[in-house]
Structure 1
């Protein structure tokens, strides 16, 4: 699947170092230092109602990470999925009377347009789940053969009935207990949650703890056997379609390999998605999935977390259609630290527009020279971003330079473009 046009990322004189990122798994700052190539996986959209500001904030955070790595002299290999077949998408398509493929395609096109407008660096590998169904089915078969997956009949089996020995015709579930015995992964390694919290989130985020026939209430679905009216694919494990978590495990391993540098996404993916994805990957490969698990905070609107289910969305495309400069949207999002939960208001956008005007006047083509040292401004910018991507601190650095003036305005403009993605 094609991504979107890559923005020009200028090179700055000198070089920064690798950033320190907050790692969810250890609750500590870890230096995200690649051995050679910085390998990054960020979970992509389920394509309906794209792109709201919660999406944009997440992808902007990992765009900033890429820019810091590039400034440190690393090559970056970035992969992202598109969950273009899943229950929420199918439900929305049915509710609106739109073909599910057409709905997904239209929303992915909108997402591409929004990402390009926001100057987000695109993934090197932009992979739709429907493009890798065969690979996912092979992975499910591998887990089955290893004794790490088991069948659950669609209709509850009679009491005392033997478990099916053939995967075809049953839903297939991941056996957490068996996987923990067979690999170095343990449930909760990535999320740092206790069992009660896990059960609550599993129930809220697509899990089925009450499904009869499961060995453990938290065991996740790997393969959903064919149902009438649902899209389905033939495979060795029977006709059906993938579960949620196995999709990202397979795509990440396929494109990036094991032990990649950073697994990223919104904090609503920590459990069960990233915990289970890591478990699947460890069971398939015998290696950890990633070195750092990095998560963004949630963006609220009108008192509630911005979400498709609630419908309280502020869409990038709507703001753009109203004439908002995408650079102002970007600055409004950068003014919040990527790990914080916060609420969007129109005041954020107004402040960003004022900031953009001030920066353009101070560092644009006709900007007069001042007494501040541009090279020191660049050094301060680099230091702020290396400290857990502290974009609010970096904006404050540029604000101070705009107020005082600098001896080389074009250099600061170049740094703002390279590191913050805002072309002045």
Structure 2
């Protein structure tokens, strides 16, 4: 196995545990609400407390990675969030729950920026979309595996035991990250000089070939100079409006299936898992398609996937058939996560490498603000409408339309003729 592949597998494992940790709260939510006697708005507040910390620490996490190295930041992040995952199972009231989920979110919040810095350091532009989508399969495998893991634990023990077990898994990942995730290829223990030179040669050749095909934002002297670049704001708001439907869908799906579709715990666990296995396929396809079929026109893949995802969301909540609902919710997840994978190919391609950590952290702040808004907004809509989930899902479909419009009109891409690209590569 190539050393770069070992690094990506280690990053994927750590990211997967992160997603298991954050998604477990959605499965436990009905039981927390019953134990603490909470309204839908209060439950939405618990979900959003995570995003306050998570969104607030995206930029600091990227800045720390740019300054001190991604490896150190990733290890510290894993340690903090694993401890507070376990503490989630200890809380006895709403105030403590909000505090613990906030700090847990802050611990995970510093993680993504360093991860994208690792992707930028280890992969050339022509492979970053694929590498990035491999890492982001954690966003689909996590929600897919969580119901299957968490539901039996809740049934056998309690919702609190889930967080103790997941916290231990996180601490194991601390060792994995320190062993396999390093800032630069030449720092990896045991890597050969031949492989180091091959990585450098691939990057140099790709930079020459893509000079006029996918032009990165020019290197900036500071993060604040980067903020003057229009494309970073386009990516910020594009990601924001895409993650509103993604997080609204993920966090409220288990409760919707129980309360509206009338499923028991076992049926809900299966029904909530299926869409995210489909989404894993969509995510993997997004990276491959973005790198191989849409290079120089990546925005079109984002727009296509978002529009189809919006249609599937509409069909999901309007159909009375349980079988058709499962089909449409699976297709919605597949296309929404295809959009997520393809939209995240944009920052790792266009951001300057010297500010990859803080720049990607800023873009992901937009995404996490979407995650902050979505659970709380949906909870409030459900309360205001007397339990009407249709209105909540309409908001999610509308947000897809806004995001796709921002990306289509805001990202200007230049596409060389195939002959010119081949000539540049041959030089």
Could you tell me the TM-score, scaled by structure 2's length? 0.21
Bigger-Rg structure (1/2): 1
**Greater strand proportion:** 1
Could you tell me the TM-score, scaled by structure 1's length? 0.22
**Greater helix proportion:** 2
